[in-house]
């Protein structure tokens, strides 16, 4: 029994306090250990979202939800509701002989993937007769009064851009510091991400005239894989597709699309600046269509159960306690077990579910393990988009993503993170610290996202204006590596974090009004 509950018992708040205690004591290290050893065993092969092993993991969670007495949340037409909410994926096989048709004022030329151009990144490879725009080096630097995008409209167009930086007699024209930023491989990324794509272009074709990208056309590997699993839900959901499509071509490409144009940089490869003029290439378009050879539909499930609220009015408001169940593929033949990331969080969700089921709240508490987090927060985004529960009635999301280890730099204190958006930090600090008296024997560090490895499912909720945070171990060497094994989990810590999560869920589930925490 936790000391903080004693005064309540003595004061006669016995029923409530005893039930709270029943919930707390149902969260055990032994059960967490069982869940994590099951989910993070080698047999589960990393629980990649669209694999049979993931389906087994999801089934395991559903069976635990059922045993704990949670109600299935997903209606089925003409049948009983189920725990599984299926996200649509497809396993597609594409023809990798992708042809580009470049049309120059009506005259068509065909170019072949791998021999004439290569795909360097991105997956949006279908372009329907899009106009080309030549942007020179693609540099915009107000400090140098240099703007390659001046008066150009890139919206919906394909951009042709030179690798590297402007030179005269082999020497950079721009000051070293500016030049270095735009030069070499990373310089290209910088141009593509912060320059070209932000102006609405749909794809970039990079041309390397002088080897400055550090990547030779013949040596460069196309990132295209003919067989892949593609998410078929709303593209707005999740962050998939956020990599702009970037191609690499041989310099001869310029002679095709800038034939007869005195600004063709190929005419003066040693002094491109001689006739330098970024410009729309009027009448020049590119068409590309990837042929799908086979496509098999796959479903990967979120697992969703609820503990219905006990208050006739507040039961129509929701607190979501979730964590992602999926992890990543093997590396060099070694399974990435994802014991901390995120068998631990999934186990925590199951334990908190069991505890809340023993002690239901006024509000309905939704428990979920998400699919597709590692592929771009797909499962949580799909859940919110699906309208299974109205967004405006979801008052808070507690996300558990890694609750069983301690990140670099905190080894001594075993501190654990609560990571949230800046705007929630101050209010959450007080709220959580008040509930944490005596629950954890390590510090809880409440912070905005500087310790986050690129966000987790709570981001989906925050983006919709729903306050949320995630429990997070911090960065450690085994993250997304084969070493993330169940033997290395700090089980007392995972249990303490789950207990704290339970108390937070209980408080949020029962208070008169859930604050906005801003």
Is position 341 an interface residue for Zn ion (rule: CB under 5 A)? Answer: yes
Which lies closer to Zn ion via its Cβ, residue 327 or residue 395?
327
**Given the rule CB under 5 A, which of 83-91, 334-342, 471-479, 481-489 is the region that contacts Zn ion?**
334-342
- Compute the least distance from the CB of residue 419 to Zn ion, in Å: 12
- Compute the least distance from the CB of residue 55 to Zn ion, in Å: 19
Is position 478 an interface residue for Zn ion (rule: CB under 5 A)? Answer: no
Q: DSSP assignment, residue 273?
A: G
Which lies closer to Zn ion via its Cβ, residue 49 or residue 342?
342
Is position 49 an interface residue for Zn ion (rule: CB under 5 A)? Answer: no
Which lies closer to Zn ion via its Cβ, residue 327 or residue 414?
327
- Considering only residues 263 to 302 of the shown chain, the ones binding Zn ion according to CB under 5 A are none
- Tell me how far CA of residue 397 lies from CA of 284, 366, 400, 516, in angstroms: 50, 9, 10, 12
Q: Is 204 helix (H, G, I), strand (E, B) or coil?
A: strand
Which lies closer to Zn ion via its Cβ, residue 474 or residue 509?
474
Q: Are 83 and 194 in contact (CB under 8 A)?
A: no
Which lies closer to Zn ion via its Cβ, residue 207 or residue 325?
325
Which lies closer to Zn ion via its Cβ, residue 341 or residue 447?
341
- Compute the least distance from the CB of residue 336 to Zn ion, in Å: 11
The 3-class SS string of 134-179 reads ECCCCCEEHHHCEECCCCCCCCCCEEEEECCCCEECCEECCCHHHH
- Tell me how far CA of residue 476 lies from CA of 327, 339, 451, in angstroms: 16, 13, 11
End-to-end C-alpha distance for the chain, whole angstroms: 34
From candidates 354, 401, 421, 457, binder to Zn ion by CB under 5 A: 401
- Compute the least distance from the CB of residue 305 to Zn ion, in Å: 21
Angstrom distance (rounded) from CA 58 to CA 96: 34
- Compute the least distance from the CB of residue 368 to Zn ion, in Å: 14
Q: Are 363 and 314 in contact (CB under 8 A)?
A: yes
**Given the rule CB under 5 A, which of 21-29, 211-219, 337-345, 498-506 is the region that contacts Zn ion?**
337-345
45: left (phi over 0), alpha (psi -120 to 50) or beta: left
147: number of Cβ within 10 Å: 13
Is position 342 an interface residue for Zn ion (rule: CB under 5 A)? Answer: yes
Per-residue buried b or exposed e for 401-430, using 16+ beta carbons within 10 Å of the residue's own CB: bbbbbbbeebeeebbbbbbbbeebbebbbe
- Considering only residues 251 to 270 of the shown chain, the ones binding Zn ion according to CB under 5 A are none
- Compute the least distance from the CB of residue 345 to Zn ion, in Å: 7
Q: How many H-runs (helices) and E-runs (strands) does the chain carry?
A: 12, 24
- Compute the least distance from the CB of residue 451 to Zn ion, in Å: 13
Which lies closer to Zn ion via its Cβ, residue 414 or residue 458?
458
Which lies closer to Zn ion via its Cβ, residue 188 or residue 342?
342
Q: Are 300 and 86 in contact (CB under 8 A)?
A: yes
Q: What is the CA radius of gyration of the chain?
A: 27
Which lies closer to Zn ion via its Cβ, residue 137 or residue 472?
472
- Identify the CA nearest to 19 among candidates 32, 28, 8, 29: 8
**Given the rule CB under 5 A, which of 18-26, 28-36, 393-401, 502-510 is the region that contacts Zn ion?**
393-401
What proportions of the chain, in percent to the nearest 5, are helix, strand and coil? 35, 25, 40
- Compute the least distance from the CB of residue 244 to Zn ion, in Å: 25
- Compute the least distance from the CB of residue 453 to Zn ion, in Å: 8
- Compute the least distance from the CB of residue 373 to Zn ion, in Å: 6
**Given the rule CB under 5 A, which of 60-68, 267-275, 336-344, 387-395 is the region that contacts Zn ion?**
336-344
Q: Are 157 and 138 in contact (CB under 8 A)?
A: no
Is position 346 an interface residue for Zn ion (rule: CB under 5 A)? Answer: no
Which lies closer to Zn ion via its Cβ, residue 401 or residue 490?
401
Establish whether the linkage from the previous residue to 342 is cis, with ω within 30° of 0.
Answer: yes
Angstrom distance (rounded) from CA 93 to CA 195: 33
Q: Residue 69, Cα to own-chain centre: how many angstroms? A: 31
**Secondary structure E strands in 389-507:** 394-400, 416-420, 444-447, 468-472
**Given the rule CB under 5 A, which of 9-17, 81-89, 236-244, 395-403 is the region that contacts Zn ion?**
395-403
**Given the rule CB under 5 A, which of 15-23, 247-255, 285-293, 399-407 is the region that contacts Zn ion?**
399-407
**Given the rule CB under 5 A, which of 82-90, 125-133, 341-349, 481-489 is the region that contacts Zn ion?**
341-349
Residues in CB range of 119: below 8 A, 6 or more apart: 113, 125, 222, 223, 224, 245, 246, 247
Which lies closer to Zn ion via its Cβ, residue 355 or residue 403?
403
- Compute the least distance from the CB of residue 341 to Zn ion, in Å: 4
Size of the site for Zn ion (CB under 5 A): 3
Which lies closer to Zn ion via its Cβ, residue 354 or residue 401?
401
**Given the rule CB under 5 A, which of 207-215, 243-251, 354-362, 401-409 is the region that contacts Zn ion?**
401-409
- Compute the least distance from the CB of residue 369 to Zn ion, in Å: 12
Which lies closer to Zn ion via its Cβ, residue 47 or residue 118?
47
**Given the rule CB under 5 A, which of 291-299, 313-321, 378-386, 400-408 is the region that contacts Zn ion?**
400-408
- Identify the CA nearest to 303 among candidates 3, 508, 35, 114: 35
Residues that bind Zn ion in the complex, under the rule CB under 5 A? 341-342, 401
């Amino acid at each position: 029994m936790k000391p903080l509950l004693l005064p309540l018992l003595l004061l006669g708040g016995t029923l409530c306090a005893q039930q709270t205690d029943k919930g707390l004591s149902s969260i055990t290290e032994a059960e967490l250990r069982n869940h994590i050893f099951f989910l993070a065993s080698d047999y589960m092969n990393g629980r990649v979202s669209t694999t049979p092993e993931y389906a087994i993991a999801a089934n395991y969670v559903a069976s635990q939800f059922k045993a704990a007495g949670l109600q299935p949340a997903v209606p089925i037409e003409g049948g009983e509701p189920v725990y599984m909410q299926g996200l649509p994926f497809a396993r597609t096989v594409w023809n990798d002989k992708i042809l580009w048709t470049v049309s120059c004022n009506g005259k068509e030329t065909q170019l072949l993937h791998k021999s004439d151009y290569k795909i360097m990144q991105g997956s949006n490879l279908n372009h329907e007769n899009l106009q080309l725009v030549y942007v020179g080096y693609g540099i915009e630097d107000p400090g140098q009064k240099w703007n390659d995008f001046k008066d150009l409209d890139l919206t919906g167009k394909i951009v042709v851009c030179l690798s590297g930086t402007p030179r005269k007699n082999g020497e950079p024209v721009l000051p070293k510091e500016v030049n270095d930023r735009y030069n070499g491989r990373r310089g290209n990324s910088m141009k593509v991400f912060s320059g070209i794509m932000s102006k609405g272009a749909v794809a970039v074709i990079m041309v390397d005239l002088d080897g400055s990208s550090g990547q030779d056309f013949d040596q460069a590997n196309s990132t295209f894989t003919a067989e892949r699993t593609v998410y078929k839900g709303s593209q707005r959901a999740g962050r998939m597709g956020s990599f702009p499509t970037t191609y690499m071509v041989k310099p001869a490409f310029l002679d095709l699309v800038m034939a007869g144009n005195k600004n063709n940089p190929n005419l003066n490869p040693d002094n491109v600046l001689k006739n330098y003029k970024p410009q729309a290439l009027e009448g020049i378009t590119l068409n590309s269509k990837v042929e799908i050879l086979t496509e098999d539909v796959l479903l990967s499930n979120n697992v969703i159960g609820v503990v219905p609220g006990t208050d006739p009015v507040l039961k129509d408001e929701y607190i979501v306690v979730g964590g992602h169940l999926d992890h990543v593929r093997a590396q060099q033949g070694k399974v990435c077990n994802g014991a901390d990331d995120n068998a631990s969080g999934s186990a925590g969700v199951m334990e908190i579910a069991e505890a809340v089921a023993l002690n239901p709240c006024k509000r309905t508490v939704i428990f979920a393990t998400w699919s597709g987090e590692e592929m771009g927060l797909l499962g949580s985004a799909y859940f919110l988009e699906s309208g299974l529960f109205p967004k405006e009635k979801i008052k808070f999301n507690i996300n558990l993503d890694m609750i069983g280890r301690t990140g670099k730099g905190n080894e001594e204190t075993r501190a654990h993170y609560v990571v949230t958006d800046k705007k929630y930090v101050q209010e959450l600090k007080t709220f959580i610290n008040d509930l944490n008296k005596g629950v954890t024997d390590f510090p809880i560090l409440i912070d905005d996202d500087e310790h986050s490895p690129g966000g987790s499912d709570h981001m989906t909720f925050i983006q919709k204006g729903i306050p949320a945070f995630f429990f997070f171990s911090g960065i450690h060497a085994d993250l997304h590596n084969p070493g993330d094994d169940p033997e290395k989990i700090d089980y007392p810590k995972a249990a303490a974090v789950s207990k704290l999560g339970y108390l937070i869920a209980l408080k949020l589930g029962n208070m008169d009004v859930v604050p906005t925490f801003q």
